[in-house]
Chain A
């Protein structure tokens, strides 16, 4: 019996040694031979084509830190509260996909939209919400200090150009989903230069809304008024991002628009 085990273990071990040596040799051959060409996989797997999920409402969120939820104690952001509210109102399953990146500018978003996976998710979306432009204008709060109108106008032109491209790209990918572009508020409206900064933000919002109006089913959602009076109550300690209360305000506003939209479709 003992002898039998010994023979088996020995033979298995010798076979294993050969196998591992072969694997090691293959690794060396594979990793060190330089001329390997990448061949693309020929067939895409079935679910890579855009396919909407039946019975669920897919909200696709993209943009910057506001969509990400920076400053919210629960980390939900307005997209999270929006989903909560919609869940209360409808019986539909709601699926939230959030691809927002902190510090994203309009140029960054445009680049992100070139990625195939982002495009695929855009195609699947029923509702698209986005925030963009805050970082173009404020650059984390640094830019408004100088209040150089020429520089700001230059930035605005670049931004508007990018936004146009973003809108077109989104529309091209998804003809039906309503796009809610959440506008800017003025985080500095209780600072000394409030009247100047406010007018800059107002103008920025106005131009963005004008651009949005050129497309079908793009809603530019104003938030300026929400934060106009008691801005300090709705801002996070960084004095720039909204706090939980601020996000809830934004969510409420977007939620009411979305429901309105759904009813419109039914009738």
Chain B
């Protein structure tokens, strides 16, 4: 088995996809770093005051003013209200949630890329794992070996798992390393609040507790990895089902982007919460943001994703073992 996985890893590395992905990340991170840097700078210029409390208070007042306007959408109002009470809570506990630093950047970066960017990168790797063997014809060579089919597929799946871990790790390392040049490398022990629960448009703070930023980041990366694994599994399934890599990519791309769009407009369509792509934003539960649809929680989203993942896994293995190859 180990040799099979080794073999698959070798194929993956030969294709140089992993390098491309690292390059993409290495290119994007400086962009975001610069954007973040500009934002901080502009804020300082505008308020002429470097105290984060003043900045946060100003933001709170601005939000309150927006809330008092009557022409505001219900959805948006709910979102603002929850953010407002959260910011207030941070302020009261004298914690700056955005103290600049490489760890903070890392955290904000993954929180924003968990639902689209990272799944896309994973998809690029996984989409042709099986389908390229089918379209290239090499699958016949692979299957003539005296190895059970499911073992071959499992070795591919494990190679997928390893490369997902590798991608997530390179996101962590690169975003830390590159943004640290600008923001400094400190800030691992900064306290952050987690455990907010959202109910309707109220923010419940019963379970709120402080965790150091390094733990917070580790937790978020755990969730990011989970999401990437589910997306990876589903792509893997499509890659087994379809012979064309382009079709696999197309379908995944469409559903991921549809998820991003849906999340903004499904509030009234409640059963949409069973789609996997609406549930990708797991880190929002840790930081305490409003959910796109009422009644969603971390447990719920993780279970929905797990069901999709397991179903995809089973379909992939059953089809692969039974299919005629010609």
**Interface residue count for B (Cβ, 8 Å)?**
55
Sample (7) of A-B pairs whose CB atoms are under 8 Å apart: A17-B161, A19-B221, A22-B218, A24-B223, A26-B218, A31-B195, A36-B207
Closest 7 CB pairs of A and B: A23-B222, A24-B222, A20-B225, A13-B162, A16-B165, A16-B169, A17-B165
**Interface residue count for A (Cβ, 8 Å)?**
51
Docked-complex contact B218 and A95, CB < 8 angstroms: no
- Choose among A23, A95, A115 the residue that contacts B219 (Cβ–Cβ < 8 A): A23
Report the stretch among B6-14, B245-253, B310-318 that lies at the interface: B6-14
Known contacts A34-B207, A36-B209, A37-B209; decide if A20 and B221 are in contact (CB<8 Å): yes
Total A-B contacts with CB atoms under 8 angstroms apart = 142
B261 within 8 A of A: no
Bound-complex Cα distance A197 to B218 (A): 63
Binding site for A on B (CB under 8 A): 6, 9-10, 13, 18, 47-49, 51, 53-54, 56-58, 61, 64-65, 68-69, 88, 91-95, 161-163, 165-166, 168-169, 191, 194-195, 205, 207-211, 215, 218-226, 285-286, 298-299
Docked-complex contact A118 and B57, CB < 8 angstroms: yes
Closest to A27 in B: B219
Docked-complex contact A41 and B54, CB < 8 angstroms: no
Extra A-B contacts (14), CB below 8 Å, given A38-B205, A56-B48:
A6-B10, A10-B9, A13-B162, A13-B163, A13-B166, A17-B161, A23-B220, A36-B207, A47-B51, A97-B54, A98-B58, A101-B61, A118-B57, A120-B53
Known contacts A6-B13, A16-B166, A40-B93; decide if A23 and B221 are in contact (CB<8 Å): yes
Cβ distance A253 to chain B, nearest Cβ, rounded Å: 24
Cβ distance A96 to chain B, nearest Cβ, rounded Å: 9
Bound-complex Cα distance A97 to B209 (A): 31
Find chain A residues with CB under 8 A from B165 CB.
13-14, 16-17, 20
